[in-house]
Amino acid sequence: MKITKIETIHLKEFPAATWVQIYTDNGHMGLGETWFGPRAVAGAIHEIFAPMLIGKSPLEIEKHWRDMFDMANAFGYAGAEMRAVSALDTALWDIAGQEAKQPIYNMLGGACRDRIRTYNTCAQYGDNKDMDMAMLDAGTLAKSLLDDGINALKWAFTDCFADPTRGTSLKPGDLDLMCEPIRQIRNAVGNQMDIANDGHGRWNLNNAIRIGKAMDPFDMFWQEELIQPTNVESHLILAHELVAPVCVSERLVTKYQFRDYIQRGAAEVVMPDLIWTGGITETRKIANMAEAELRPVAPHDCTGPVNVFACAHICMNAPNAFIMETVRAFYSKGGFYDKLVEPNIKVVDGHLLAPEGPGLGTRLKKSVRGRSDATIEVTDEPATHDHWGGFTAPYEVVEERGRRFVRRRDAVPTTRRRSARSDKAGSTKL
């Protein structure tokens, strides 16, 4: 089985999204997704990574991840390159599952569960007004979620307080006012609802501590990214000061950035974003690193449906999977997932169900490629040159007659040169 073609799909209606489809010579098609900077992502795929993969076996996923990472790490790796790797890695796992006729979670070692608890991130789409309600009428929102069987939510309750001063200042009364939606939820439904706050990295450490302490009496589920994860020490201070667990989150890319946060206890809830941090391959390793430190993993979402499917496989497999982020405004009737994939994710009684069928368990709808707002780019040729010398050095170390030396790969071996000289007819084929 060989990879024959890789395409990226972009729709104007969803300006942040990129979908990747990898085709094989035996008829499989693997699906991946990433979010943000689609032109940069498509550039990384078609200029760098797709030519590396064309003609190779799609089953050598670890090797491909390593080759692509080594290439991306010629210039610091995180960014469009790792988003591209994340989408490609997901598509390779999809193919591997189809070839084995197994869901991906079985290829990761099998299922620890058949569903995972989910929480609602209160983004909104179409007629859904969850975001407005989270800020303006949070008690009603909490009752509505409980009616759907969902008993955990997350929102960025403090963003609008941070924006005027880039998180450097809190005005008198701000702490009380930013707690008002949380107070409304507690008044409306008591402790029936778990409440997480996402600071979106907008605060400095001093204000993050004040905000976390102000919210602690409400028994918060976690405090996520009150500060940006640019150093471990600040998060250790924050984790030490707050009762609520500190969640370190989607901005960390690959196991290398998660490593110190997990090992040193600065990430009390570990939240990798699968389609940014390196795909299924890397998210599984990050989950395992968290498991070794007795920390839960809660994959990040609020992007597209393929991410939720891929994360669902991690959540079924990883023993320490805690809860999965989803957005009911996106997956419910009237949301945008229905425009894109078939089947849609299934959330029942506040739980995301295990995907069914081989591979990821979903496909882009046939209608997606034919849309008038679609841009499809295709690569079907292998690499003709080496980028930065990143994956194949032009030299090799050889040993002949007990002597080791370096030569160019394209050099004619000395033994064959000797046999060529001895062929008097001059017809030796080198």
Instruction: Catalog residues that contact Mg ion under the rule CB under 5 A.
Output: 198, 249
* φ/ψ (deg, to 5) at 49: -85, -40
* Tokens linked to 386: 């080496």
Contact between residue 244 and residue 220 where contact means Cβ atoms under 8 Å apart? yes
Closest distance of CB 225 from Mg ion, Å: 5
Strand partners, 297: 270, 321
Residue 197 or 281: the one with the smaller Cβ distance to Mg ion is 197
Alpha-carbon Rg for the chain, nearest whole angstrom, is 25
End-to-end CA, the chain: 30
Helices 254-263/279-292 angle, 10° precision? 10
Contacts of 403 (CB under 8 A, 6+ apart): none
* Tokens linked to 336: 């945008």
Give the separation between CA 88 and CA 41, rounded to whole angstroms.
11
Upper half-sphere CA count for residue 427 (Cβ side, 13 Å): 1
Give the separation between CA 161 and CA 19, rounded to whole angstroms.
35
Contact between residue 17 and residue 30 where contact means Cβ atoms under 8 Å apart? no
What DSSP letter does each residue of 360-413 carry, written as one string? TS-EE-HHHHT-TTEEEEEE-S--SS-STT-S--SEEEEEETTEEEEEETTSPP
Residue 198 or 268: the one with the smaller Cβ distance to Mg ion is 198
215: helix, strand or coil: helix
Closest CA to 119 of 377, 373, 305, 300: 300
Residue 67 or 224: the one with the smaller Cβ distance to Mg ion is 224
* Tokens linked to 237: 């201070």
Give the separation between CA 59 and CA 61, rounded to whole angstroms.
5
| Residue 53: how many other CB atoms lie within 10 Å | 24
